Amino acid sequence: MPTMYLRAAALAAAALPVLGSAEPLSFDQALSLAVQRSEAARAGRAAATSANESARAAGQLPDPTLRAGVDNLPVTGADRFSTTRDSMTMKRVGFSQEWLSADKRAARESAARAMADREAVQAAAAEADARLQVALSYVDAWYAGEALKLTTQTEHHLHEEFEAARARFAAATGASPEVLQLAAAGGLAQDESDEARQQQAAAAVNLQRWVGFAPDSLSTPPVFVIPPEDDFLARSPSIASLQRDVEVARRAVAVAAKERTPNWTWEVSYGQRNGYSDMVSVGVSIPLQVAPSQRQDRDTAARLALVEKAEAELAEATRAVTADYRALCSDVARLQQRIARYRVAVLEPARQRTAASLAAYRSNQMPLSALFEARHAEVQAQQRLLALERDLARAQAQLTFKPLAQGGAQ
């Protein structure tokens, strides 16, 4: 319980500078809060701590065994259950110790260390996933906010222009086609704003799931730095984890090979007799490996097969991660080309059309509904551009935050 309180206090202290100021939530602050609040990352760190503690104990000798008993106790006759009348009855106390060679203990400790390294990578992978998810959520929330600003501003402008032109239609009947077109355009703009608010609210809730509160505003996402392919592969969580699996399997083979030599157990006991000399007994127990080819060798072969399995899984994961990296890089390149072309071929003509329609309307050469149509086409072009830019930012974020943090795979 104290640990839970301390962690809650630490999270509150981390979030205090953000909650206590009017500053927008920055991208770096969101990353930090997500990692601190991630229960998966906390579970991974706990598992790594557990594995480290187990590794410390793996290289130790087994605990000695205390042995106590009574030998040759009469159970019939006049001396039954007496420990002092019969000279053969002896009270005995001693201990035994199973002995493991230094090499065998070192192999076991090495295997435990490999498992601890694997758990450490799993913890780093959980933190990387938290950073990736909050990065994607942050991008979605920021672009949803920009889309809402765009539709809200457009709705406001349309409303102002409609009110300014109301006098022109004061004498028009309610069934006038021009009036109906203007009413439909206004309703469409309002609906698009409502849809943008809905998307922005959903994105804000998803971001709150990672940072712990609903921020009033967000800073502009940074420009993501795309790592080279070799670095992406080297810090891939799946590859790093499977590399540790291979190492764990190899260390298990070494342990199995050492088990071909049996463990001896030493025993010393002290026996007390009534009226006769006390006695000391010393003994050793040695397991007889009567069929090593059917037991120990098969266990080693089984461990070797697991090494081959882990290596195959690593090779397959490397191919998958390589393909994922190249596909994301291809997406980034194509999206950059599409955005550049879209700005020139679609958005700029839409802006020019709006400007020309506005000039024609002001000179009474074009109806207001035509101006609304031009503005709506420009808004749709801007919305499409925002969607492309969001997709580009998401692809770049995946390339940046899918890998482990620097040093996380060491």
Domains of the chain: 2-401 (1.20.1600.10)
Q: Is the dihedral of CA 308, 314, 318, 319 positive or negative?
A: positive
Closest CA to 133 of 183, 67, 201, 203: 203
In this prediction, residue 1 has a pLDDT band, given cuts at 50, 70 and 90, of very low
CB 289 within 8 Å of CB 232: no
How confident is the model over 2-41, as pLDDT tens digits? 454 445 444 444 444 554 456 899 999 999 999 999 999 9
**Cβ atoms of residues 143 and 137 within 8 Å:** no
Helix pair 368-401, 348-362: axis angle to 10 deg: 160
154 or 200, higher pLDDT: 200
pLDDT at 161: 65
Which residues on adjacent β-strands are paired with residue 285?
Answer: 265
Question: How many other CB atoms are there within 10 angstroms of residue 105's CB atom?
Answer: 15
Q: How many CA atoms lie within 13 A of 198 on its CB side?
A: 6
Nearest alpha carbon to residue 387 among 230, 223, 249, 199: 199
Please tell me the pTM assigned to this model: 0.82
Place of tokens 């551009």: 385
Contact assessment for residue 388 and residue 146, using Cβ atoms and an 8 Å cutoff: no
pLDDT tops 70 at residue 194: yes
32 token code pair: 């930090």
Q: Which uninterrupted H or E stretch holds 168?
A: none
> Mean pLDDT over residues 210-233, rounded?
94
